[in-house]
């Protein structure tokens, strides 16, 4: 249920990003493909998808840094600290919040937050290095 809610929440934003990218594709590419005899599916496969590739790569790289982050409102507010769901919905973000609010352990909460950020940064830098070696123009930097 939580996975479905998260996908539904992010679907609109991602649709707008991909739609903006598709609107930015030069129409002469589609016209040239039509003149060459490409049908609708061939134009999608040979024009639209290659033009979307850099957007997809950038969005994956940016979301890779958030792989250890959870939607705090979804994982904390929906189950409302229920005993039966606590083990399932206990993520690093909710762990840090519970550490601050219930046990008042600032050091442990800070260490967990720093760990989460450092691992996310390392993942983004490593994935960007791999993308840069494969296709230099699609990398973040």
Distances in whole angstroms, Cα of residue 98 to Cα of each of 12, 92, 95, 102, 103 = 31, 10, 5, 5, 7
Query: Is this prediction's pTM over 0.85?
Result: no
pLDDT tens, position by position, 15-69: 999 999 999 999 999 999 999 999 999 999 999 999 999 999 999 998 888 888 8
- Per-residue tokens: 63: 């979301």
Mean pLDDT of 67-96: 77
Could you list the residue range(s) of the whole structural domain that residue 110 is in? Answer: 65-141
Residues 99 and 130 in one domain: yes
> Could you report how far apart the first and last alpha carbons of the chain are, in Å?
37
Residues 72 and 37 in one domain: no
């Amino acid at each position: 249920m939580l996975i479905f809610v998260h996908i539904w929440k992010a679907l609109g934003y991602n649709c707008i990003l991909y739609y903006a990218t598709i609107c930015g594709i030069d129409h002469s590419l589609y016209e040239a493909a039509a003149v060459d005899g490409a049908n609708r599916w061939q134009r999608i496969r040979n024009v639209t998808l290659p033009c979307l590739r850099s957007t997809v790569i950038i969005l994956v790289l940016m979301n890779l840094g958030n792989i250890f982050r959870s939607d705090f409102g979804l994982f904390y507010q929906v189950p409302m600290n229920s005993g039966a769901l606590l083990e399932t919905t206990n993520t690093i973000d909710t762990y840090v919040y519970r550490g601050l609010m219930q046990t008042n352990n600032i050091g442990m909460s800070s260490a967990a937050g720093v760990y989460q950020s450092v691992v996310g940064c390392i993942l983004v830098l490593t994935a960007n290095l791999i993308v840069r070696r494969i296709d230099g123009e699609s990398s973040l930097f």
